Structure 1
Amino acid sequence: MAPATALLDELAEEILLRFPADDPACLVRAALACKRSRRLVADPGFRRRFREFHGAPPVLGVFRNTISVCSIGGRRNIGGGGLVTYGFGGRARAQPSAVARFVPTSSCLAGARWREWRVVDARHGRALLYKRRQSWDSDDRLVVWDPVTGEKRELPAIPGSPFEIKDPFSWNAAVLCAAAGCNHLDCHRKPFAVVFVAIVRTVMFDCFYSSEAGRWSQPAAHCAQQTDDRLKLEPSVLVGNVLYFMLQSRAKILNYSISTREMGVIDLPTVCFSERRIVFMAIEDGGGLGFATVRDSKLCLWSMEVGSDGDAGWAQRGVIDLKKLLPNSAFSSPLPDVVGFADGIGVIFLQTNDGVITIDLKSSRVTRVPKISGGSSIFPYMSFYYPALGAPAASTGGDGPGTGASSVSKA
């Protein structure tokens, strides 16, 4: 390559590297503008450098569970917070039904909506969705879906069929990349794992799915440290090698070690003992576990500290006065509440009377997120996207996520 050409390529690449990662359409337009840009954008080396330049993957969309009402007769259903309930005598009755939605914040991905599915988790470029059984002769379903590649995998039944337990139980689950040494900037098509945790009366248990093995581990039982609580189907957080799950009372959280499969319960500060939501945060630069909640008109940030005796405590590390950032209309009923957190980029999602907004904890920049209606917690979908991948066809109905996508596998 001639020196002049190499210099032009280097200059062009330096410009392209600075294109916003959360707006892949900019790279699409650049790739269509001239042959040099198209060649550079298509180069795997450029894609690697683009990821490294920007660091944490951007938010390309959000998953959210909304509610509709459907008629359910004589069958068991997963109700609020994952608690199992039952129908009676085959008589149809109206029950709220979850509708999973994917709302893209980038024009390169298509929105989607699936009735009677529920979003359980989103992490490392994948989403975990659940569909309760539709009849006594059908099965509960867990599916892992990648909105960028269109690939999905329906997971096999969990050993011991926890959904068959006749005692009321609660559960939650998490999906994560399982590739050794991965920096989690490009987890697509790499091995993944799913962690399933549950509380059944006085017993906690877990089960671990490996995409490489294509099967679940045998469930492991743990003696519960409390018997009057249950898991909530809200976003978990991964800090190092430990997953944290919210419990229904908001007074405690469940922690799960991926490496040892040990489980435990950690007390939260009394500030959490209210109807206001909290969202978990992984504090950057190895800061450990944190959470955010709104009190009055202030966004309060907390972090966990482990003392010399090994016991966990909590310290408030920051307060943001929302009245200095948001218009007065945002404080009309209902008051602002936290609904999500984008790990790695330090962005909090707030539900306000004006809609959903984000607050960048570093810059205090406020951004309105359009097209997101009311609902439950928000699961940010974070990934890099490149024009060469192509946009998968999203499903607005059909039988689950990824219908019509480029690749489907079943374990």
Structure 2
Amino acid sequence: MSDGGGDETAGSCRLSPAEAAPLDSEAILGEILLRLPPQPSSLPRVSAVSKLWGSLVTSAAFHRRFRAHHREPPILGVYGETSGDIVFTSVLGPPDRIPAERFALPVSADDFFDSWNLLGCRHGRVLAFNRVRLELRVFHPVSGDLRVVALPREFNVAGYGHGFSTSGAVLCVAGDDNPGHVHGGCHSSPFKVVLVGTFHGNQRPAIARVYSSETGLWGDLVSTRGPCGGFFGGHPGTLIRNAIYWWLHGFDIDILEFNLVSKKLAVIKRLPIAGAEIRRANMRIIRAEDGDVGIIISMYPSFHLWDHKVSCHGVGKWVLRKTVNLQNIIGLPPSTNAPIVAIVAYAEDTDEIFLLVRGAGDPYRGSLIMVQLESMRVREYRGSFLEDSYHPFTDFFTAGTVGTRSIPVTEPNQPLSH
């Protein structure tokens, strides 16, 4: 070893031109950067490293590969209703937190009677309903794209009075013919809106129609075989496999099912629990263990998971899957000092429930706790939450993404189906 051994050691830590080459190769560098976490700040931060990195991660081709690699878009926040307005709240911490105004829906209540109802979020889109204007708005917050769709005549709630209840769901349909399609960042893909209605207190069938953005038209009217009472609460529909499910509230607590393939409506009968024993805010429709429909009910200090099983003879029944003690999962105090705990949301893509936990001494602030139902992994977000129902919003988003808003209007089909 020479007297310059120290210099040799220092020099041996330097990368040779051949070793440094991978970071100058778009192909190899791209493979490395694809593995960054799909959080809003990830790509903008690395784009500042160099001109090469910036041009790579801002390209449309890289964004497509990035989404395909991660498959499942992250939960960016939740949407909720406040005094007729629809408000976004990020559930990410700095530097990924998204300002509420960045994802604000281009809707506003012009007066007391002109308010908006949030029907659901799915595949990067938000669906809002205005019962005065008789219109739906489908909004893609990341791109800013907005579509306005007029309601078909059957859903003119003014014609039925307060006895008519409406709900709906939006979903991307690009994956119907392409199983490899990633439902995130796909605002240019076609979508469908499923609109359902019930006549509370009337022995009439529930009805549904499906809107296609490809044709700009509403499909034929669909109804249940028999009468279907009840009304929709603030809970969004849950997409499970090829069907969407909604709670029906009333004397009994049933579930309305719309099959996207057969275009049929059906009713799944009530749970084997007295309605007086459970609060509406503490129930959610979830994905069952076998991938079919299930429910979760929170009755402090535990929650209970039920699966709906259908026999070979077509007879359905509810089966208790398991009971989970909340005190063991999120460290809640004993029931003698019980806080207010409500299930306020369910994320289909990640199979997570959102628990709003508020102390009795401060009911206006609390923690939003997300529990993954298979692993029981827990995440927490602290903030101000007043509602008992929120809509999780998932999509791929890089901070600074800018879009333009388009506002085409679709009129109802003529003639109408009866």
TM-score, length-scaled by structure 1: 0.79
The answer for the alignment partner of 2:205 in structure 1 is 203
Counterpart residue type for residue 381 of structure 1 = F
Q: Retained in 1: the 8 A contact 2:117–2:128? A: yes
Q: Are 1:335 and 2:331 counterparts? A: no
Q: Retained in 2: the 8 A contact 1:148–1:391? A: yes
- Distance in 1, matches of 2:126 and 2:236, equals 11
Identity %: 27
What's the offset of the Cα at 1:242?
A: 1.0
- Distance in 2, matches of 1:330 and 1:61, equals 30
- Distance in 1, matches of 2:177 and 2:77, equals 26
From 282, 287, 296, the counterpart of 1:282: 287
The Cα offsets for residues 231-260 of structure 1, whole Å up to 9 and x where unpaired, read as: 334111111221111101462101111222
- Distance in 2, matches of 1:48 and 1:307, equals 43
Give the secondary structure class of the aligned counterpart of 1:149.
coil
Map 1:167-178; keep pairs closer than 5 Å.
167=161, 168-178=163-173
Counterpart residue type for residue 238 of structure 1 = L
- Distance in 1, matches of 2:26 and 2:380, equals 37
What's the offset of the Cα at 1:226?
A: 4.0
The answer for the alignment partner of 1:382 in structure 2 is 394
Structure number with greater CO (CA < 8 Å, separation at least 6) is 1
Q: Retained in 1: the 8 A contact 2:145–2:187? A: no
The answer for the alignment partner of 2:63 in structure 1 is 47
What's the offset of the Cα at 1:129?
A: 0.5
When residues 298 and 244 of structure 1 are mapped into structure 2, their CA distance, relative to the original with a 3 A threshold, is same
The answer for the alignment partner of 1:74 in structure 2 is none
The Cα offsets for residues 134-167 of structure 1, whole Å up to 9 and x where unpaired, read as: xxxxx32211100011011110231345323235
Map 1:85-234; keep pairs closer than 5 Å.
98-105=84-91, 106-108=96-98, 110-112=102-104, 114-115=108-109, 116-133=115-132, 139-167=133-161, 168-179=163-174, 180-182=176-178, 183-186=181-184, 187-200=186-199, 201=202, 202-227=204-229, 229-234=230-235
Give the secondary structure class of the aligned counterpart of 1:155.
strand
Q: Structure 2 stretches of 5 or more lacking a match? A: 1-17, 110-114, 359-365, 411-418
The Cα offsets for residues 344-363 of structure 1, whole Å up to 9 and x where unpaired, read as: 21221011113322112244
More displaced, 311-320 or 27-36? 311-320
What's the offset of the Cα at 1:409?
A: 2.7
Max Rg structure: 2
What's the offset of the Cα at 1:10?
A: 4.9
Q: Retained in 2: the 8 A contact 1:122–1:381? A: yes
When residues 326 and 272 of structure 1 are mapped into structure 2, their CA distance, relative to the original with a 3 A threshold, is farther
When residues 171 and 53 of structure 1 are mapped into structure 2, their CA distance, relative to the original with a 3 A threshold, is same
From 11, 14, 19, the counterpart of 2:36: 19
When residues 219 and 164 of structure 1 are mapped into structure 2, their CA distance, relative to the original with a 3 A threshold, is farther
Q: Greater strand percent: which structure?
A: 1
Aligned pair count reads: 359
Q: Are 1:352 and 2:346 counterparts? A: no
Q: Retained in 2: the 8 A contact 1:241–1:258? A: yes
The answer for the alignment partner of 2:14 in structure 1 is none
The answer for the alignment partner of 1:271 in structure 2 is 273
RMSD across aligned positions (CA): 2.7
When residues 254 and 43 of structure 1 are mapped into structure 2, their CA distance, relative to the original with a 3 A threshold, is same
Counterpart residue type for residue 103 of structure 1 = T
- Distance in 2, matches of 1:218 and 1:287, equals 29
Give the secondary structure class of the aligned counterpart of 2:273.
helix
TM-score, length-scaled by structure 2: 0.77
